Amino acid sequence: MCLTPEYTRYFRGLTRNNRRAWYHAHKAEYDEHVRRPFEELVEEMIHRIGGVEPAVRGLSAHDTVFRLARDIRFTKDKTPYKLFSAAAIAPGGRKQSRAPGFYFEIGAKRIGIAGGIYQPDKETLLRIRRAIARRGEELERLLAARTFRRVYGELQGERNIRLPPEFAPVAARHPLVAHRQFYFWVEYTGKPRDVMADFLMRHYRAGWPVSAWLAGAVAG
């Protein structure tokens, strides 16, 4: 599955005309050249990832694709639409926050790919930190692997300056325990039609060992 030049053309138009009137006037174009091809790509990715992670096999594009409309309630930027299509493939779908997932977004000139856990809840964060305290060297080794570093560089996310007393002594041995987000991200500039399932799967496999470690940590 490969996206077409019309996909790029639509988002270029939306970039210049990010208004509800323009969106509704071009709704048929969006459905034909953006929504449907992107959903087909997502379905293909669910099928492929399902071969590695059985927990995602029952998902569909409906469960994983984000709405194009932006949530503008708490932001100064009131433009109504995102300038990319995005999906998060994880057990439970795009709303899952307790399990690692595989995320990608594709716009007219930019492609973003990520994995890991972006916003763990309190219990999930506690479980990950306890796993780091017990066997943080395993996670460090996975993050230092050549393929992971070549594709993603390093683990990203916000960190706590102050840690709960339980973890303060751990920080000297395993600084990763200070993280409160555990995700990895890479961004490209390029043509969306160059993004195919093979391209995305190479990124998924590069990050899978880290995501698998995080899944094990959350499961206890």
The whole-number pLDDT of residue 207 equals 98
Q: What are the residue ranges spanned by the domains of the chain? A: 5-219
Give, for 217, the enclosing helix (H) or strand (E): helix 197-219
Please check whether residue 99 is in contact with residue 92, taking contact to mean a CB–CB distance below 8 angstroms. Answer: yes
Name the least confident of 16-20, 80-84, 106-110.
106-110
Give the DSSP letter string of 57-126. Answer: TT--HHHHBPPSB---TT-S----B-SEEEEEESTT-TT--SS-EEEEEEESSEEEEEEEESS--HHHHH
pLDDT in tens, 170-216: 999 999 999 999 999 999 987 776 678 999 999 999 999 999 999 99
pLDDT in tens, 10-65: 999 999 999 999 999 999 999 999 999 999 999 999 999 999 999 999 999 999 99
Q: Find all residues with CB under 8 Å of 168, minimum gap 6, and list them.
A: none
The whole-number pLDDT of residue 7 equals 94
Nearest-angstrom CA–CA distance, 180 and 124: 10
Domain 5-219 listed as CATH 1.10.3470: no
Select from 40, 39, 59 the least CA-distant residue to 50. 59
The whole-number pLDDT of residue 105 equals 96
Give residue 123's pLDDT band: very low, low, confident or very high (50, 70, 90): very high
* Strand order, beta sheet including 84-89: 84-89, 101-107, 110-117, 182-189
Q: Which residue has the higher pLDDT, 189 or 97?
A: 189
Nearest-angstrom CA–CA distance, 40 and 210: 27
Q: Looking at the predicted structure, is the pLDDT value of residue 2 above 80?
A: no
The whole-number pLDDT of residue 1 equals 62
Rounded average pLDDT over 81-87: 97
The whole-number pLDDT of residue 75 equals 85
Tokens in use for 214? 């995080």
Task: Name the average pLDDT for the chain.
Answer: 94
Rounded average pLDDT over 128-155: 98
Rounded average pLDDT over 117-128: 96
